[in-house]
Amino acid sequence: MSDPPIGRDDDDYGAYVHVPFCAHKCDYCAFATWTGHEHLIDAYLAAVRREIRRAVDEGIPPLTSVFVGGGTPTLLRPDALAALIEELPTSPLAEVTVECNPESLTAAHIEAFRAAGVNRLSVGVQSMVDHVLEALGRRHDRSNAASAVALARAGGITNINLDVIYGAVGESVEDWRATLDEIVALEPEHISAYALTVEGGTPLAADASRHPVDDDQADMYVLAAELLGNAGFEWYEISNWAKPGRQCRHNQLYWSQGNYRGFGCAAHSHQDGRRWWNVRTPERFVELIERGAPPEAGSEVLAADTRRVEGLQLSLRTSRGVPADALSDEDASALEGLVERVDDRVFLTRAGRMLANEVAVRLH
């Protein structure tokens, strides 16, 4: 059984660049990010540039997508971040995305990004309701989101994603509706709407009174699907909607088991079934690069059957679905209402998207 790639060509190759610095760590965040490490920024950027140059010397192919994330990339000086991006060997039509927080994006960033080939921004809006932003531990307010989009548009960025999160303590369905209405009014090309999850070791995890309520999040997901669909956004992955032709090329590379390189601390890479990842802390990463040692912390090679099943589980989450024979007739019957069959493929229903893991474990 073979399953064609999702939204990518066989020669697509991506890069992720990790910027681990934040001015403030949000209460729900478990990513490899740090505050109070500004003294490391210059050394870290120099180390990442050296890592990229090593990869170029090894002969990595032209990159069809780049994603600079973190952390807060827009904490860096615009020229410094642009210089880092310019080290990457991109193809002429590459999608180049930079993540940003609304409150730290400036016109100088936009100008530098455009000069470096950035053509897509992903803005961490999270909510357009101030008391929800406060509950999430965010430092911006709703006006910052509109200002960031206006800056990007004025600077010539024509592809914008807005990230939002639902399920914070004190957020009502009407609060969530207000957020959806306001982000749609900003006319982005792409919207990512994520359910708030509780990650171990975070301030959110330590306070059970702030944990999301499953039933509320289910209602909010249904509302998002309805409102975004009515606004002309096409659902193409459980948490992602896009205007026609504006799906994120880089994320599709991940969902279709494509090849990519990760640069910086904690960054992950994949090449034809081998995955590896860098050391987690920026200090250790800089130390290894400066003495000429590889920053790799670990790796794994996926067995063929493991890779095949993982590919099905990823594809299931997308609008492409999976081949019908990936589920037995018995399993398909047991999952009635969660999946639907159209010709020779099986797709998650809207209800199934909220219970995707229950479907995924039955794939074979």
pLDDT in tens, 12-40: 999 999 999 998 888 899 899 999 999 99
Let me know whether 114 and 203 are in one domain. Answer: yes
Q: Is residue 267 part of a domain?
A: no
* H or E segment and range at residue 330: helix 329-334
* Tokens of residue 281, six digits: 């802390």
Q: 35 burial class (0-12, 13-18, 19+ CB within 10 angstroms)?
A: exposed
Tell me how far CA of residue 356 lies from CA of 43, 118, 191, 212, 338, in angstroms: 42, 34, 20, 18, 8
Let me know whether 229 and 327 are in one domain. Answer: no
Helix (H, G, I), strand (E, B) or coil at 188: coil
Tell me how far CA of residue 165 lies from CA of 100, 182, 256, in angstroms: 15, 14, 24
How do residues 62-111 score in pLDDT, each as one tens digit?
999 999 999 999 999 999 999 999 999 999 999 999 999 999 999 999 99
| Domain count along the chain | 2
Let me know whether 127 and 60 are in one domain. Answer: yes
Let me know whether 43 and 111 are in one domain. Answer: yes
Q: Residue 304 in contact with residue 340, Cβ under 8 Å?
A: no
For residue 205, give its domain range: 13-255
Last residue of a domain, one of 195, 220, 255: 255
How do residues 156-209 score in pLDDT, each as one tens digit?
999 999 999 999 999 999 999 999 999 999 999 999 999 999 999 999 999 999
Q: Is residue 291 part of a domain?
A: no
Q: What is the pTM of this model?
A: 0.95
Could you tell me whether strands 13-19 and 63-70 are parallel, antiparallel, or unpaired per DSSP bridges? parallel
Cα–Cα distance measured from residue 80 to residue 145, given in angstroms and rounded to the nearest whole number: 24
Output the pLDDT for position 7. Answer: 54
Let me know whether 88 and 193 are in one domain. Answer: yes
What backbone phi and psi angles, to 5 degrees, belong to 71? 65, -175
Last residue of a domain, one of 234, 255, 276: 255
Q: Count CA atoms within 13 Å of residue 171 on its CB side.
A: 34
Q: Is residue 5 part of a domain?
A: no
Output the pLDDT for position 2. Answer: 35
Q: Is residue 268 part of a domain?
A: no
Q: Is residue 100 part of a domain?
A: yes
Q: Is residue 6 part of a domain?
A: no
Let me know whether 214 and 82 are in one domain. Answer: yes
pLDDT over 80 (residue 333): yes
Q: Is residue 263 part of a domain?
A: no
Let me know whether 251 and 309 are in one domain. Answer: no
Q: Residue 14 in contact with residue 262, Cβ under 8 Å?
A: no
Q: Is residue 323 part of a domain?
A: yes
